[in-house]
Structure 1
Amino acid sequence: MKKEQYLGVNVSVMTYSEILDDLRMRIKDGKQSTVIAVNPEKVITANQNPLVKELINDSTYQIPDGIGMILASKIKGGELSERVTGIDMMEQLLRFAAEEDLGVFFYGAKEEIVSEAKTKIEDRFPSLNVAGYENGYVKDNEALVKKINDSGAQLLFVALGSPKQELWIKEHMGSLNVKVFQGVGGSFDVFSGKTKRAPAFFRKFGIEWLYRLLKEPKRLKRQMNLPIFLLKVLRSR
């Protein structure tokens, strides 16, 4: 599959539908696949931490989550034309699982968050087989792996925050029968209703970061990663 690289970090040049079509074939062939969202902040972190860069580059699909990745592609004359966000990818995968009759498992976040997310997701996708869930405070990973395997789930969504969730996936995927893994950060918070997404206007134009900044001015330091990233990409041309 075609990928572009920004400051040494891979990014997949694929749409939602192309990823799902590819996943369908990989599942049929018995292959495991990992999905990780890539944004400017994560690329900068990857350049400071070789382990994070390795986790990203070793993933099957590095989705361009953030308008900064599209802008970087334009700077370098690349082919990225649309964002593939982590939470929308999760929603697409949930719909895919419901259509293909594949069980899903949710792991991570606080008990009240993950359980409420499970309930609301089941309401939204009535035909979805939610094979099980576990909050992010479980200590016995061996028992957790057994619980996931016993559930028969084929898709696993892990919400432990990045890069902890990717590290957990990398460490345990060899012991799991799951075929698709996605680290989903705070997505359970959104599906549970605890956190509201940016209004459609902000999402349409890829400026959720501005909405979040207006709601939480203290995020300004984090948001400075965008111009820093774009400057680094420009210098690397």
Structure 2
Amino acid sequence: MNKETYMGVDVSPLSYEEITKELNQRIQDNQQSTIIAVNPEKIIASQNDETLRDLINGSTYQIPDGVGVLLASRLKGGEIRSRVTGVDMMDRLLQMAAEEGYRVFFYGAKEEVVSKAISNIQETYPSIQVAGYENGYVQDQEALIQKINDAKADIMFVALGSPKQEQWIRANKERLPVKVFQGVGGSFDVYAGHVKRAPAPFRKVGMEWFYRLATDPKRIKRQMALPKFLFRVITKK
């Protein structure tokens, strides 16, 4: 695919439907794929962190999670037409797994969070095959690897926070039968009902960031990455 690049960071211009269609084919072809969410905060951080930049660019799909990436693409005449958020991408993969019979493994978050998230997911998708799960506090990593292998998982969601979750995926994916890995940050908390997303009208117009800022003013330092990112994109020749 032809990816767009902003400040040295690649971004996939594909929609949810295009990504899931490709992933379904890649699973059939026995190819491994990784998905990482990209936003202005992460792109800014990567400017002083070559390891983070390589981690992002080394993924199969860099989804445009932040509205700033969407705006940058429009300013530069790119092909990104809409955001592809991490939590919604996860939901599309859950739906695909339920429809195609893929086995799903969940790793990360607190025990009560991941177990409740799975319970709610099973209510939404009764036919989904949960291969297994483990909370994010497991100490024996070798036992975890063995558990995932024994589970014969096809899709795996890792919720350890970024970039820790992507580092874990990169370090272990070749030892696992999993075909699709996605680092999902706090998405388990959303599925567990512990964290509320912005109302649909905010998400529809790309103002989820504003809702989060209004409800949690402490996020202001993180949100400052947006104007800084757009300024650099606009002024870059």
Structure 2 length normalisation: TM-score? 0.99
Once the two structures are TM-superposed, the CA of residue 152 in structure 1 deviates from its matched residue by 1.3
2:17 alignment partner in structure 1: 17
1:101 alignment partner in structure 2: 101
Once the two structures are TM-superposed, the CA of residue 191 in structure 1 deviates from its matched residue by 0.2
1:186 alignment partner in structure 2: 186
Task: State the Cα deviation string for residues 156-214 of structure 1 (Å, max 9, x = none).
Answer: 00000000000000000010000000000000000000000000110000111100011
| 1:45-60 equivalences in 2 (<5 Å) | 45-60=45-60
Distance in 2 (alpha carbons) for counterparts of 1:198 and 1:26: 33
Distance in 1 (alpha carbons) for counterparts of 2:109 and 2:184: 10
Number of residues paired by the alignment?
A: 237
1:200 alignment partner in structure 2: 200
Once the two structures are TM-superposed, the CA of residue 46 in structure 1 deviates from its matched residue by 1.1
Structure 2 counterpart of 1:148, which letter?
Answer: I
2:62 alignment partner in structure 1: 62
SS of structure 1 residue aligned to 2:198: coil
Task: State the Cα deviation string for residues 129-169 of structure 1 (Å, max 9, x = none).
Answer: 01111000011111101101111110000000000000000
2:223 alignment partner in structure 1: 223
Once the two structures are TM-superposed, the CA of residue 226 in structure 1 deviates from its matched residue by 0.2
Distance in 2 (alpha carbons) for counterparts of 1:236 and 1:154: 41
1:133 alignment partner in structure 2: 133
Once the two structures are TM-superposed, the CA of residue 125 in structure 1 deviates from its matched residue by 0.4
Distance in 2 (alpha carbons) for counterparts of 1:53 and 1:127: 38
Structure 2 counterpart of 1:112, which letter?
Answer: E
Structure 1 counterpart of 2:198, which letter?
Answer: A
SS of structure 2 residue aligned to 1:51: helix
Once the two structures are TM-superposed, the CA of residue 235 in structure 1 deviates from its matched residue by 1.6
Distance in 2 (alpha carbons) for counterparts of 1:122 and 1:195: 18
SS of structure 1 residue aligned to 2:4: strand
The question of 1:78 aligning with 2:78 is answered: yes
The question of 1:177 aligning with 2:169 is answered: no
Structure 2 counterpart of 1:27, which letter?
Answer: I
SS of structure 2 residue aligned to 1:48: coil
Structure 1 counterpart of 2:31, which letter?
Answer: K
1:29 alignment partner in structure 2: 29
- Structure 1 stretches of 4+ with a deviation exceeding 6 A read none
SS of structure 2 residue aligned to 1:157: strand
2:115 alignment partner in structure 1: 115
Structure 2, gaps ≥5 residues long:
none
SS of structure 1 residue aligned to 2:84: coil
Q: Percent identity?
A: 61
SS of structure 2 residue aligned to 1:21: helix
Indicate the RMSD between aligned Cα atoms, in angstroms: 0.6
SS of structure 1 residue aligned to 2:47: helix
Structure 2 counterpart of 1:194, which letter?
Answer: H
